[in-house]
Amino acid sequence: MAYTYGETIAVPFWAEGRDFIGGRDPLGIQNSSVSIYSTLLPGLNNVTERLRYYGFYCWLLTCMAEKRLTFKEPREQHNFIRKAEYTLALYMALHEPGAGNIAGIDYANKQVLDKTNKVFDIKKGAEKHPDTRKGSVYWDFGSGALGQYYVGSLVLLGLLHVQDRYFFVTEEGKKMGAAFDRSINKEEKDFLFSVIDQGLLQRKDAGKLSGFSLQSIKPESEEWDYYINLFLSADTIKNTIDGLEQTTFRRDTWLMFISYLLKCENWEDWNSFPDHIYDNAGFIGTKKEKKASIGWYYYCTNELIHFALESIFSVILKTIEQGPAHINKLTPLLTRQCLKAFRNYYSINEDSKTSDLLENIDSETLSTEYPMGILDHLKKFNTGETLAWSFELILKVYQETLPYREYFSRFTYETDTREKRGTALELFEEHIEIFLEKPVALFIERTINKIINDHLYVAYLKMGNGEGQVHKLLLEDNYLVHIANIVPRFTTPRLGTVRNFLLDLNLVKIQNGKYKLTEEGKAIYDKYKQD
């Protein structure tokens, strides 16, 4: 039986579809970048933005063990931790408003703004049970901010371990907890535990928790020293997942990043650090060359390539958004539009080889400047120009990094990041070099087809892993059908967290819109820079 559009089928449908969900990595290539910055900056992530939580969690779990608190199930332990987190959020909302990156601060702010709340119900605002309604407590994830955000970093650093969903502090974690403990007086500690036990916090008494301030680490205290050693001592960490030691490049990254911050004309420019490394070719061949600088150079190389590929994919999606397109017609159409744009810039024709284009590409514009131009053309739906700029960026990065390929190879083998899917080296060696002496039109068309196939492969693979349908397009009877658009984006390589840690440690400060070293910061920077 045939059904017309709009009819309702009132019987079971065996081929019922699943809703499409968003996906941030439509080509399945960003993990290659993530694996690199994870090696360069281990022990933190993009959401562990308050350093003092590290010490607080180690201290709290140590106290729980010393008090011999018992929990019949993991949820009971998690709720104990949640009550502590929420109590700190309320203190911060009341006495240090405006402090960012505090777990549960939005919920706490709402409670604080209600002036009728003289007593805060900690149990009601923190405990999570199977029937707890979403949004009705300070944090929806069952094991709190510790379980959702911080535990991975703490485990990697060998400070915590997890067993049967319970959190345990390690011997090394106890040392951090002890250092934190000596920064808090007995009255403050006793008061926090009384709040947790009673499940209530009097508004007028919240100031008694000032020692637990999440943005106040006393310089040169034992706690401060522990954090300094944790992130700036020798780059060998032993995690509690498999007991293996891992050599990383965290300390050199921190020192290079501090050096860059001090050169920033504006405090908001901190996130241009990878571009700075790329524009200076990782300082290879200079006194500033480090394994870390090579790693960041390769990271940015991957990011630029990924951005260009996602931009081409975005053009494909915006084109078929106008209506389904036969793949055998779409790729030649986009190729012609790209070549037309190239002819406006260079002496490129249908018979030109890819190497001819490579010899003619713009040598004055920095590769790191291309993404803004690509986004501008994409926004205006300048199809040919977006494609031309994207392909030019790919070839430009290929050409610029060619002399340093051996450095990249050594770095990837030493850090076990070589075999990740979608690396720049993979594209250079297995795709670009195959087409250098072939027509540029063929290179463009094959690349477009590769991007489509890569997306379909990754989307179906994710469905098999139970992640839902993340397709941005479907291929039906050789027709490409639009599902959703994407905007090309870069990964976030934890630098914001490093910046926040430096501020929390009072190593740097913002003065007159620029970064300055504090006295403590200068002493630490000079000490470790000479090691």
* Residue-wise pLDDT tens digits, 284-302: 999 999 999 999 999 999 9
Is the whole-model pTM more than 0.75? yes
Higher pLDDT, 231 or 463: 231
pLDDT, mean of residues 96-122: 95
pLDDT at 500: 95
pLDDT, tens only, 159-215: 999 999 999 999 999 999 999 999 999 999 999 999 999 999 999 999 999 999 999
pLDDT at 302: 98
Asked if 452 contacts 471 with a C-beta cutoff of 8 angstroms, the reply is no
Strands, DSSP E only, in 82-143?
Answer: 119-121
Residue 135 neighbours by CB distance under 10 Å: 7
Please state, in angstroms and rounded to a whole number, the distance separating the CA atoms of residues 34 and 30. Answer: 6
Please, which residues have CB within 8 angstroms of residue 153's CB and are 6 or more apart in sequence? Answer: 43, 44, 45, 48, 54
What percentage of the chain carries pLDDT values higher than 70? 92
pLDDT, tens only, 22-34: 557 899 999 999 9
Helices marked H in 241-353: 250-263, 273-279, 291-320, 327-345
pLDDT bin (cut points 50, 70, 90) of residue 236 is low
Q: What is the mean pLDDT of the chain?
A: 91
pLDDT bin (cut points 50, 70, 90) of residue 344 is confident
- CA distances 404 to 129, 284, 425, Å, are 55, 8, 11
Q: Classify residue 73 by its DSSP letter.
A: S
Please state, in angstroms and rounded to a whole number, the distance separating the CA atoms of residues 490 and 451. Answer: 17
Residue 188 neighbours by CB distance under 10 Å: 14
Is 18's pLDDT higher than 70?
no
pLDDT, mean of residues 117-140: 96
- CA distances 457 to 20, 142, 451, 471, 526, Å, are 16, 34, 10, 10, 50
Is 7's pLDDT higher than 70?
no
Sign of the alpha-carbon torsion through 68, 79, 169, 52: negative
Report the candidate in 72, 103, 68 with the shortest Cα–Cα distance to residue 89: 103
Is 528's pLDDT higher than 50?
yes
pLDDT bin (cut points 50, 70, 90) of residue 233 is confident
In order of start, what are the domains of the chain with their CATH numbers? 31-41+290-482 (no CATH), 52-247 (no CATH), 250-288+494-529 (1.10.10.10)
Is 17's pLDDT higher than 50?
no
pLDDT at 419: 86
Report the candidate in 46, 224, 24, 29 with the shortest Cα–Cα distance to residue 152: 46
Asked if 250 contacts 494 with a C-beta cutoff of 8 angstroms, the reply is no
514-517 and 479-482 beta bridge pairing: unpaired
pLDDT, tens only, 68-102: 999 999 999 999 999 999 999 999 999 999 898 99
pLDDT at 418: 86
Please state, in angstroms and rounded to a whole number, the distance separating the CA atoms of residues 253 and 493. Answer: 12
Please state, in angstroms and rounded to a whole number, the distance separating the CA atoms of residues 166 and 196. Answer: 19
pLDDT bin (cut points 50, 70, 90) of residue 245 is low
Is 155's pLDDT higher than 50?
yes
Asked if 200 contacts 127 with a C-beta cutoff of 8 angstroms, the reply is no
First to last CA, the chain: 78
pLDDT at 4: 39
pLDDT bin (cut points 50, 70, 90) of residue 8 is very low
For the ranges 4-13, 35-44, 245-254, 293-302, the lowest mean pLDDT is seen at: 4-13
pLDDT, tens only, 488-518: 999 999 999 999 999 999 999 999 999 999 9
pLDDT at 346: 87
pLDDT, mean of residues 29-58: 94
Using only C-alpha atoms, the chain has a radius of gyration, in whole angstroms, of 27
pLDDT at 89: 98
Please state, in angstroms and rounded to a whole number, the distance separating the CA atoms of residues 491 and 402. Answer: 23
Helices marked H in 402-507: 405-414, 424-427, 433-435, 440-464, 495-504
Report the candidate in 231, 258, 253 with the shortest Cα–Cα distance to residue 153: 231
Is 3's pLDDT higher than 70?
no
pLDDT bin (cut points 50, 70, 90) of residue 393 is very high
pLDDT bin (cut points 50, 70, 90) of residue 470 is confident
